[in-house]
Chain A
Amino acid sequence: MMKNRILLIAVLLHLVTLSDVTVSSAKGEEPVRLTTDQSFKQHLQSSPDGKQFSFTRIHQGKMGVWTMAADGSGFKRLLPGHDQPDFDAHWSPDGKRLVYVHDQFQGTDGKLSLRTCNVDGSDEQILIPHKAFDESPRYSPDGKQVLFVSTRDGNPELYTVGLDGKDVKRLTSQVAYDLHPAWSPDGKQIAFASGRTGKQKIFAVKSDGTGAKALTDGDFLDAWPAWSPDGKRIAFVSNRTGNYDVWLMDADGKNLKNLTEHSGHDTSPAWSPDGKSIAFVSTRHGGSDVYRIAVE
């Protein structure tokens, strides 16, 4: 009797321990392949209405921002007249403009600037002229400012800037690289990747840069967080299985799930506006293509 009681307690303790950190596979139905051209892609972003994607693509030796319909059809280069690279674009909340990085080669170096344009590529404006290494621009949910990464004060930190290119505010000041920022849907938090603990992990910070907290820990590299539209979960990229997969976690860092779990490299998660699916870039079938997977 005593022996059974001890055994029961041991089992219960084991289950309680497991529930604090749940890591499981979310693998269910297979992803749907949306593109088949196999050209290099990254920085996938869904338009606010879910009808289009933007992404960085290398096509015929040129890197540029491209758009396509949500079903993977209708590839269109955003700025076909540019012979220098554009990349890492993000949609304004009203879906009318894109902010992106423009690169101007100079020998073996480049000069990066942040620019905006209409979704048809017209009315290109310089938001931040070249000053330092500036990239990963992200419109705020209210559309009034742009979040970005800059080396203007040394190592890459997070900053915001007004739509007129003025009022630059520094948000982070750690002696570490802070990268890949993403606004929460309510604009109150920013998730980002940071090496401040010695490894690149996902952190969250308030929109004024205070209150940083780690959402992931452990060995291996975590990157490119993306909030779900309801703000309750975060998708991110991790190589904790030995290659890059797209993972899900609750917004507090719990309940980690490997969503894509494949030997190919899965990156660039982009939520659909209804939160029911995530599009991502994968090398699973050759080259680099966009896929969509349902999310429970």
Chain B
Amino acid sequence: MLSIGRQRNGRCFTRRSFLQVGGSSVFGLSLANLLRAQETGRTPGSAKAVILVWMWGGPSQLETFDPKPNAPLETRGPFGTIPTRIPGVRFCELFPKLAGISDQLAVVRTLSTLSNDHGIAGTIGLTGSAAGGTGLDGKPLAGSARPATGAIVAKVRSSANEASRLPPFLVVGGKLHQGHKAIVGEGGGPLGALYDPFRLEYDPAYGTRVPALELPPALTPERLADRRTLLDALGAAERTVESAHKAGALDDYRTRAFALLTSPDARQMFDLSKEPAKLADGYGRTRFGQSCLLARRLVENGVPFVQVNWSDHVEAEEDAGDGGWDNHYRHFQLTQDRQAPNFDQGLTALLNDLKQRGLLKSTLVVAVGEFGRDPKVNDKAGREHWPGCYSALVAGGGTRGGRFVGTSDARAAKPADTPLTPGDLCATVHHAVGLTSEQITGMGLTPAGRVIEELF
């Protein structure tokens, strides 16, 4: 099922409101670059696309991919470990599917970041820098936020893939929040709003949603079910755009962006009911699982960067579906009952699906959160934030599977060797898609870190 827009607040789709929306980031303004800019100096990399699985909230390194079965109970927790296809590496027993395909992925075990605040660590994770990040206290750190990794890839890759009719930077999921505050770092930053992501959301009840496409208040949910009415409404919206364009009120490229996003081809792509039921079942009929399936469809159709947000909020209980990984209490129950099964199934299905379609070699998949969790279990069977050491999974896109990078200490509290940063991970993504440091500096940016050469 495909759902376009959502009825809310009686917002009227007037010409003025359309212009306001068109002036914001919601119309895939990065697509404008695809239609306007000429690529210069592009260096081909193995990865033609990137899927970033953003594990918002901070999953525990100990209950995922860096367990410590020989540590005291207060560190190791209740779960055992299982062997993987990576020599010397065991996963937490909650991830048997990923363990079974671990020859296709690499585990980076020695990431550390500078903050244990979700907001700031989130900015660092998405951009490679804390600049401009805002914590719980609401005060932004010095400096302007860097562009998201996705925005940088979008800027370079968009014109390389002119056959694609979609925005080059898509986020599947809502805007990331800490409490009621949106975090900094999901957008184009100094590259401009042109490179902000276009957003899709998957709702198990409604299917794929395109929130940016608001509909006239007269179009009730009941009338939405009428395909003819829906087509008429879209036609009216398109005529409004055309009218605004003729009036010269809209950038020519934004007009075309809107047209592309409402095109039948795009709607087909967003419609997950086109997939065989058995395949869709294999991803898991959860928001995360189906978001991964949508991500596969998007990269298959030429979108260079897709970010799949695990959740909108960090905490587990706030979301009605797959809550964030921020388990300060009941951590083991939440991980075992909800988070691990959905993640294990969804990511495994994504990697297998990409491989079977011959896309894994050209698609870099990175799964990471903003930090890890305290090696010492608290008195509520939970774990606090831990920036000192955490893990990421990397697969495809020219990287080599069946390996690990870095070894943490006996409690997964800090790196024992190969200390790495989120900036290094960002640099590695850039490298995988063929970006050179000269291209980065040519954008007015400084390289975020070093390329994790051990992955290639």
On A, residues with C-beta under 8 Å from B are 38-40, 42, 58-61, 63, 85, 103, 105, 108-110, 112, 132-133, 135, 151, 155-156, 175-177, 179, 195, 198-200, 219-221, 223, 239, 242-244, 263-265, 267, 283-287
Contact = CB atoms under 8 A, between A and B. Distances in A.
Contacts of B321: 40, 58
Contacts, number: 116
Contacts of B345: 243, 265
A60 B320 contact: yes
Given A61-B319, A177-B332, A223-B336, A239 B96 contact: yes
Contact of B82 (A39, A58, A220, A264): A220
Interface string B335-351: 01110010011000000
B344 to A, nearest CB: 8
Contacts of B284: 264-265, 283
B310 to A, nearest CB: 15
A151 to B, nearest CB: 6
A286 B204 contact: yes
Interface string B376-387: 010111100000
B79 to A, nearest CB: 6
A28 B314 CA distance: 42
Given A61-B319, A108-B328, A285-B281, 20 more contacts: A40-B320, A109-B380, A110-B380, A132-B380, A133-B330, A133-B381, A155-B74, A177-B77, A179-B333, A195-B79, A200-B79, A200-B93, A221-B336, A239-B93, A243-B97, A243-B341, A264-B285, A265-B284, A265-B345, A286-B285
Contacts of B344: 243
Interface in B74-98: 74, 77-80, 82, 93-94, 96-97
Contact of B205 (A38, A109, A198, A264): A38
Interface in B398-436: none
B73 A58 contact: no
B336 A59 contact: no
B380 A133 contact: yes
A62 to B, nearest CB: 8
Given A108-B315, A133-B329, A287-B285, A219 B93 contact: yes
B348 to A, nearest CB: 9
Given A200-B78, A265-B341, A61 B320 contact: yes
Contacts of B78: 156, 176-177, 179, 195, 200
B64 interface: no
A242 B100 contact: yes
A40 B338 contact: yes
B162 interface: no
B326 interface: yes
Given A156-B381, A264-B281, A286-B204, A244 B77 contact: no
A39 B321 CA distance: 8
Given A38-B204, A242-B100, A263 B317 contact: no
Nearest to A194: B78
Contacts of B447: none
10 contacts: A39-B320, A156-B381, A195-B80, A220-B82, A221-B79, A221-B94, A263-B281, A265-B345, A267-B337, A286-B204
Given A38-B204, A132-B379, A243-B341, A109 B328 contact: yes
Interface in B234-288: 281-282, 284-286
Contacts of A40: 320-321, 338
Contacts of A198: 69, 80
B402 to A, nearest CB: 19
B327 to A, nearest CB: 9
Contacts of B318: 61
What 7 A-B pairs come out closest when comparing CB atoms? A199-B80, A177-B78, A286-B285, A195-B78, A108-B328, A61-B320, A133-B381
A39 B322 CA distance: 11
A116 B116 CA distance: 38
A213 B395 CA distance: 42
Nearest to A88: B333
A85 B319 CA distance: 13
Nearest to A285: B285
Most buried by B among A112, A239, A242, A285: A239
B329 A110 contact: yes
A158 B358 CA distance: 51
Contacts of A108: 315, 326, 328
B93 A220 contact: yes
Contacts of A263: 281-282
A13 B418 CA distance: 54
Contacts of A179: 78, 333
Contacts of B336: 221, 223
Nearest to A85: B317
A157 B430 CA distance: 49
Given A61-B319, A109-B380, A264-B281, A219 B82 contact: yes
B111 to A, nearest CB: 22
Contacts of B74: 155
Contact of B379 (A151, A221, A244): A151
Contacts of A283: 284-286
Interface string B129-142: 00000000000000
B171 to A, nearest CB: 21
Contacts of A264: 281, 284-285
A287 B204 contact: yes
